């Protein structure tokens, strides 16, 4: 497939090192804010899989980026076999160019490249706005809606104060990191908890965990439990390595830690049928979370056996 094609007055070009900065330009046009300087560079540098910069831009006649669709290659471990997979990630269209079919065209160009590169499984977690397009226009299939558990901490969040008073932001971050110091473990992430339940999932080997450092996440230890977390206004759990016997004590101490950190609540997202889903559901209310969708690529596996936690979502 060519890295550049034309259609209806627009032209399409594959994501590459040369045009990577256009992601920052488009992101700012769509969301009126910016990501960290090297965020997209790290996010789409998936060379460890043998495939990288997998996505397409649409440009207008003035050579300005007006839309983008990209996926992130990774590996799915299924019955002790590794499948080259890709997660549907960023979809952006400039407000002036919406409802022109660009999303579908860019997606299909990207899927074509995936097929050429040997990607066996494409999965994603589209938001409510994008769900209809994935199901009806791109013919994806949904296997489940993940559970979300939100545990209130019940304090005035320091993160919210820092956003209203930006000059306090650095002080808040320094304070939080000082509190976390005694809990931190020097590793990039933790193994996928779904494997112990007999499910398939994202293969989080050392290469993958090193890649995931494009997001600011940390691993903490509470007792004998390891938790992969991200801190915003809330304490967001990506995954947990914990025995059932230690779960209550771990969550009790995590709740106290979140209060010390000045965080509003604790969040966790997980697929159904996992041990962690059961442990949380016995103690906290579950609300609908991410829709889990797959693009049919003809691979002969049971897609509903592939499970996820929030650590597997590109925004964690």
Give me the residue spans of the domains in the chain. 4-119, 147-290+298-312
Model pLDDT, residue 162: 57
- If pLDDT is split at 50, 70 and 90, which confidence band does 188 have? very high
Measured between alpha carbons, how far is 255 from 253 in angstroms, rounded to an integer?
Answer: 5
For residue 300, give the DSSP letter. Answer: -
Model pLDDT, residue 155: 74
Measured between alpha carbons, how far is 104 from 16 in angstroms, rounded to an integer?
Answer: 20
Model pLDDT, residue 129: 85
- Looking at domain 4-119, its CATH class is alpha beta
DSSP track, 1-54: --SEEEETTEEEEE--TTTTHHHHHHHHHHHSS---TTHHHHHT--GGGT---E
Q: How many CA atoms lie within 13 A of 280 on its CB side?
A: 26
Query: Which tokens go with 174?
Result: 């320094």
pLDDT of 152 above 70: yes
Per-residue model confidence as pLDDT tens digits over 7-52: 677 899 999 999 999 999 999 999 999 999 899 999 999 999 999 9
pTM to 2 decimal places? 0.91
Distances (CA, A) of 207 to 188, 195, 203, 212, 223: 10, 18, 10, 9, 27
Model pLDDT, residue 167: 65
Measured between alpha carbons, how far is 50 from 55 in angstroms, rounded to an integer?
Answer: 15
Cβ contact 307:79 at 8 Å: no
Query: Which tokens go with 56?
Result: 């397409």
Q: Residue 252's closest CA among 277, 284, 278?
A: 284
Per-residue model confidence as pLDDT tens digits over 82-110: 999 999 999 999 999 999 999 999 999 99
From start to end of 17-167, where are the E strands? 54-59, 65-78, 81-93, 121-124, 141-152
Identify the weakest region by mean pLDDT among 108-122, 129-143, 149-163, 213-227.
Answer: 149-163
Percent pLDDT > 70 in the chain is 94
Region 147-290+298-312: CATH code:
3.40.630
Cβ contact 269:148 at 8 Å: yes
- Mean pLDDT for 290-315 is 93
**Would the CATH topology of 4-119 be identical to that of 147-290+298-312?**
yes
Taken in order 14, 16, 22, 23, the sign of the CA dihedral is: positive
């Amino acid at each position: 497939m060519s890295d550049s094609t034309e259609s209806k007055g627009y032209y399409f070009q594959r994501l590459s090192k040369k045009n990577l900065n256009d992601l920052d330009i488009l992101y700012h046009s769509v969301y009126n804010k910016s990501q960290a300087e090297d965020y997209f560079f790290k996010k789409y540098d998936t060379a460890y899989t043998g495939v990288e910069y997998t996505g397409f831009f649409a440009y207008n006649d003035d050579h300005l980026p007006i839309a983008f669709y990209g996926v992130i290659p990774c590996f799915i471990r299924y019955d002790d076999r590794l499948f080259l997979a890709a997660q549907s990630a960023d979809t952006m269209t400039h407000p002036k160019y919406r409802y022109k079919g660009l999303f579908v065209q860019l997606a299909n160009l990207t899927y074509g490249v995936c097929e050429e590169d040997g990607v066996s499984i494409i999965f994603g977690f589209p938001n409510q706005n994008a769900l209809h397009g994935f199901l009806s226009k791109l013919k994806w299939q949904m296997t489940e809606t993940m559970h979300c558990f939100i545990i209130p901490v019940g304090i005035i969040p320091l993160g919210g104060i820092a956003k209203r008073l930006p000059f306090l932001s650095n002080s808040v971050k320094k304070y939080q990191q000082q509190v976390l110091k005694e809990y931190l473990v020097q590793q990039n992430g933790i193994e996928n908890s779904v494997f112990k339940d007999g499910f398939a999932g994202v293969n989080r080997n050392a290469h993958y965990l090193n890649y995931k450092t494009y997001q600011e996440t940390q691993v903490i230890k509470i007792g004998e439990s390891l938790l992969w977390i991200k801190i915003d206004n809330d304490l967001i759990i990506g995954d947990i390595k914990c025995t059932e016997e230690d779960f209550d004590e771990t969550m009790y101490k995590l709740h106290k830690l979140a209060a010390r950190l000045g965080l509003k609540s604790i969040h966790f997202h997980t697929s159904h049928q996992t041990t962690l889903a059961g442990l949380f559901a016995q103690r906290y209310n579950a609300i609908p979370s991410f829709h889990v969708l797959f693009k049919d690529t003809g691979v002969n596996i049971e897609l509903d056996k592939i499970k996820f936690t929030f650590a597997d979502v590109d925004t964690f």
